[in-house]
Amino acid sequence: MIKIATPHLEELAHEHYEELKSKIKFPTCKYALEEVITAKPEKLHEIAMHYKGDTSFDFMKNEYKKFTVKTDNDTYDAYTLAQSLNVTVCPYCNRNYTFTVRSKNGSIRPQFDHFYDKVMYPILALSFYNLIPSCPTCNASIKGRKQFSLTTHVHPYIEGFDDKARFALHVKDSSFYYDEQGFDLKLGSNDAKAQKNIEDFALEEIYKNHKDIVLELIQKSVMYNESYIEELMQNYEGTLFKNEEDLLRLIFGGYISDEDLGKRPLSKLTKDILEQLEII
């Protein structure tokens, strides 16, 4: 999982509230509407635990449904929020693009997963930090109604896997240089919350389908050895690419800086394997 690194999140959360406040008739309760809509993850958990299963807030699910209906470009809706967040790769799996495009010929956007399930926690159905832009595979096909919370799972507005969970290449025999059957691909963590994300999104099982990418990384690590990379740097730095990081992305197809992993699918996989192969 990759941390959502969109800048100025607090400003976007406040704008989200300002756009919604006139549309929602919120009852008097322990928390004001602004608190509920802009609550950061720690506050979200507090509100969730206080109003778990409270059906008096079911109307918020209907407000969310209206929010997700595509409108014109001047109306604030889920497309507007998705554009503002500009999360272009699913933070849960780092496998699928989640671009937002509005066009007269058709529009696309990420789905919004409710980190705290909107059926169990309807009060949080429109809360900014409870809406996680994600791909349909993670949101609808896999997570569904699974119960997540700050005490059990990693929240992408707080952190990503970073070094808490890493992909690892396990060599079985010498054929691993040319045959996917010669190695296994593992993903695991000693951190309980990160491991729960791995299990509940079936990440290890799904990523085994990307062993072809790992095989290419292995083969390229042999072809583009240290001396060859140095030669390319001497010949083309400043013309074809800016620095060694740009060159490595060109060669291996993924970003390798932690802050850039959310820019392209499979970058976390690429970075971890390249580190194991001692390329970076």
From CA 67, how far away is CA 176, in angstroms rounded?
A: 50
The candidate with the shortest Cα–Cα distance to 264, out of 277, 276, 250, 280, is: 250
Q: Model's pTM, two decimal places?
A: 0.94
pLDDT of residue 174: 94
Per DSSP, the residues of 215-227 read: HHHHHHHHHS-HH
Contact assessment for residue 233 and residue 171, using Cβ atoms and an 8 Å cutoff: no
Q: Which residues contact 28 (CB under 8 A, 6 or more apart)?
A: none
Report pLDDT digits (tens) over 175-196. Answer: 999 999 999 999 999 999 999 9
Report pLDDT digits (tens) over 96-106. Answer: 999 999 888 88
Per DSSP, the residues of 96-158 read: SB---B--TT--B--EEEESS-TTT-GGGTT-GGGEEEE-HIIIIIIITT----TTTS--TTT
Report pLDDT digits (tens) over 107-146. Answer: 999 999 999 999 999 999 999 999 999 999 999 999 999 9
Residues 239-262, mean pLDDT to the nearest whole number: 94
From CA 241, how far away is CA 41, in angstroms rounded?
A: 39
Residue 85 has pLDDT above 80, yes or no: yes
